[in-house]
Structure 1
Amino acid sequence: LLEDTKIIFILSAVFGILSFLTYIFYRITRKEIIYRATVIFLIFFVGLILSALFTKELKPYQKERLIVFLKPTIDPFGAGYNIIQSKIAVGSGGLFGKGLRGGTQSQLGFLPEKTTDFIFSIFAEEWGFVGSFFLISIYGIFIYRNIMILYNARDAFATLVASGILGMFLFHIIINIGMTIGIMPITGIPLPFMSYGGSFVITSIIATSLLFNIEMRRYLR
């Protein structure tokens, strides 16, 4: 479907016509349900148009990632290998995990990039659902504290800085954990304070230090 622009064009035309007809009908009847139907059809129409334009700008490897995200088994030993092995690692951890350095996918070399992109898969395999829930809870507390610092910031500049840092951490956490369990496309985004890597670790520490500074300045007169 990503490659077939003819199908996208036909669907766009159908939803465009439906949007127009339901809008005309709404202008006549003034019924709320017709208005909602018009909005839904219009959303589909705009989405299809944007997807067609967006697809033309995608590079081959980017299209491949999207296709594999929708169906990893289409290329199990190629582009879909990483996500398949990641989901196996997460699922095999069970409730309490296999113990420290006891994972099969990580220790036997099945899962690539295990210290960077797929660090959460390794953690979930070794510590299971309980450990993963504990880790996500810690991230939740961390995000909550960020929100409170943002809410209590002294001035607009501090609010903007805290908002940017909060967005960065939240984006990385959601995307990284999401891609390891198969609900997000693989993007290579590291997990804060977990993934191995010099530049992002330093960036995370500096960002956290800025948050501490914003919180500290709240008590200064």
Structure 2
Amino acid sequence: MITEASKYYKFDWITIILFLLLVGFGWLNIVSASHSGDTLNYFDFSQPYGKQLMFIFLTLGLIVLILAIESKFYERFSSVIYIISMLSLVGLFVFGKNVNGATSWYAIGGMTLQPSEFAKAATALAVAKFVSDLNTDIKRTKDLISVFALIGLPAVLVLLQKDAGSTLVYGGFIFVLYREGLSPIYLIVALLLIIVSLFSLKFGVLITSVIIVLIVLGYHFTRKRKPLFIQPIAIILISILISFGVRYFYDELLPFHQKDRITIWLSLEKDPEKLERMKKTIAYNLNESEKAISSGGLTGKGFLEGTRTTGKFVPEQHTDYIFSTVGEEWGFAGSAAVIIVFVLLLLRILHLAELQRSQFSRMYGYGVAAIFFMHFFINIGMVMGLIPTIGIPLPLFSYGGSGLWGFAILLFIFVKLDSDRINQW
């Protein structure tokens, strides 16, 4: 018989330890990226590292509260949590504070709160609750549309607040639905859309259209059992329309700063001198980030010894570009260690998700993994220049109270759900 005292400590401590490692090491890098070079006072709450330390202590209290609440609460009230979260996003259009062109924060006293960070956990709960309902079958068109609506609503609201980075994170839910029986065709279509879009921007609509025709017709005529000829024709026409649409959106509708980032990433500017000037001005943060990472070598320059970091060569390095601090001061070894810990956390979440007895807990676990992965993949790719510059924090690492609290809520609701499985043994 399990006593109440022993139940209290029956959580997955591997997940908790990985979380603490990332938060602790992240804070050390925030110290490096934000201190001014004078005498260092870790408890200086006027500095980003002092504020982050306060956020961490508040996070620990928040975690205790999450783990103290009965796990059934999260499933039972998931719809209410989702509605409140969506209302908080809508309220930004009236009461929100504009920061760097994005209206994504509420100003509360001397602090700001970003509700989009909490909307991710609310959406994961709502999707898990809806799909795990006895009457839901995502293979039915009606139910699938409803699920996409649940995911799409916060994504659109966040996009309207000019926070494109957070919007992309919601695309990760397609992996959650795939695990629950969504047809692979949706993943294939999503991949093809990305390929057609990139080809249209890089090579133009005409060349992309010719490539599409050759591939589709070549595949059609080499098949032993050929479908009706109208099918490849329809695929060709839709693909060409998408190609035209992507090009029109890029040329006429995309904001200039986002257009410039894509231009630099794909080297779309024909004039080499102009492209080089764009890289030095528009891509300044990225260039300095890459220099900082490469200067770290194998083992790095040491804690607080990064010359590009202490010299503030990378603007706002303690936020979205925090990984460049790791690269400079801890080198390839430290960077690899951070990536390994992130991967271990993701694998641990997926492993625990597969062990769950309820579909709700399993789906929520996959939602947690998907959100963490999207943030991790996009941020690391952005800092290293592998994908266009997108403002999105590195989970548990980047400076910010809302981000840290949002990820802690997201993760520790799952830890609490998983504790039911552990305590039933």
TM interval, short-chain normalised: 0.7 to 0.9
Q: How far 1:52 sits from its partner (Å)?
A: 2.4
Partner of 1:82: 285
Q: CA-to-partner distance for each residue in 1:114-142, whole Å, 9 max, x for gaps?
A: 10010000111000001111111111111
User: Which residues of structure 1 form unaligned runs of 5+?
Assistant: 32-37
Using the aligned pairs only, state the percent identity: 33
1:114 aligned onto 2:317: yes
Please report how far the alpha carbon of residue 74 of structure 1 lies from its aligned counterpart in structure 2 after TM superposition. Answer: 4.4
Q: Which moved more, 1:7-16 or 1:97-106?
A: 7-16
Deviates more, 1:199-208 or 1:44-53: 44-53
The Cα shift of 1:154 comes to 1.9
Query: Corresponding residue for 2:257?
Result: 61
Cα distance change on mapping 1:44 and 1:220 into 2, 3 Å:
same
Residue 205 of structure 2 is matched in structure 1 by: 9
Which residue pairs with 1:52 in the alignment? 247
Distance 1:24 1:192, change over 3 A: closer
Cα 1:158–1:17 shift into 2, 3 Å: closer
Over 3 Å counting, the alpha-carbon distance change for 1:174 and 1:26 in structure 2 is same
Matches of 2:377 and 2:219, distance apart in 1? 38
Q: CA–CA distance in 1 between the matches of 2:389 and 2:356?
A: 35
**Could you give the per-residue CA deviations for residues 91-131 of structure 1, whole angstroms, max 9, x where no partner exists?**
00000101111112211111112100100001110000011
TM-score, normalised to structure 1, is 0.82
Equivalent positions of 1:193-212 (< 5 A) are 193-212=396-415
Q: Distance in 2 between matches of 1:152 and 1:81?
A: 46
User: Aligned partner of 1:70: which letter?
Assistant: L
Q: Which amino acid aligns with 2:370?
A: G
Partner of 2:335: 132
Secondary structure of 1:77 counterpart: helix
Secondary structure of the residue that 1:202 maps to in structure 2? helix
Match of residue 189 from structure 1: 392
Deviations 1:153-198 (A, max 9, x none): 2211112211111111011111111111110111111011110001
Question: What amino acid does structure 1 have at the position aligned with 2:329?
Answer: E
Q: 1:50 to 1:163 in 2, by over 3 A?
A: farther
Q: Which residue of 2 aligns with 1:162?
A: 365
CA shift in 2, pair 1:98/1:149, >3 Å:
same
Q: Name the SS for the 2:279 alignment partner.
A: coil
**What is the distance in 2 between the residues matched to 1:46 and 1:218?**
50
Question: Which deviates more from structure 2 when the two are superposed, residues 113-122 or residues 149-158?
Answer: 149-158
Does the Cα contact within 8 Å between 2:356 and 2:362 map onto a contact in 1?
yes
Q: Quick one: which of 88, 91, 102 aligns to 2:305?
A: 102
* Alignment root-mean-square deviation, CA: 3.0
Give 1:77 shift: 3.3
Partner of 2:383: 180
Once the 2 structures are TM-superposed, how far is the Cα of residue 215 of structure 1 from its aligned partner?
1.6
- Using the TM superposition, give the Cα deviation of residue 19 of structure 1 relative to its aligned residue in structure 2, in angstroms: 4.7
Higher mean alpha-carbon deviation, 124-133 vs 15-24, is at: 15-24
User: Aligned AA for 1:104?
Assistant: T
Q: Which residue of 1 aligns with 2:47?
A: none
CA 1:177/1:21 → structure 2, altered by over 3 Å: closer, same or farther? closer
The alignment of Structure 1 onto Structure 2 pairs a total of residues equal to 209
- d(CA) in 1 for partners of 2:388 and 2:313? 19
Structure 1 Cα separation of the partners of residues 340 and 375 of structure 2? 15
The 1:150–1:54 alpha-carbon spacing in structure 2 relative to 1, beyond 3 Å, is farther
In structure 1, the residue matched to 2:128 is: none
Which ranges of structure 2 fall in alignment gaps of 5 or more residues? 1-197, 226-231, 268-274
CA shift in 2, pair 1:183/1:12, >3 Å: closer
> Judging changes above 3 Å, is the alpha-carbon distance between structure 1 residues 212 and 8 closer, same or farther for their aligned structure 2 residues?
same
Give the C-alpha shift of residue 82 in structure 1: 0.9
8 A contact 2:205–2:240 mirrored in 1: no
Deviation at 1:46, TM superposition (A): 7.4
Distance (whole Å) between structure 2 residues aligned to residue 161 and residue 24 of structure 1: 40
User: Residues 100 and 150 (structure 1 numbering): CA distance in 2 closer, same or farther, change over 3 Å?
Assistant: same
157-166 or 91-100, larger mean C-alpha shift: 157-166
Equivalent of residue 147 in structure 1, options 350, 353, 357: 350
Provide the rounded CA distance (Å) in 1 between the counterparts of 2:304 and 2:312.
Answer: 12
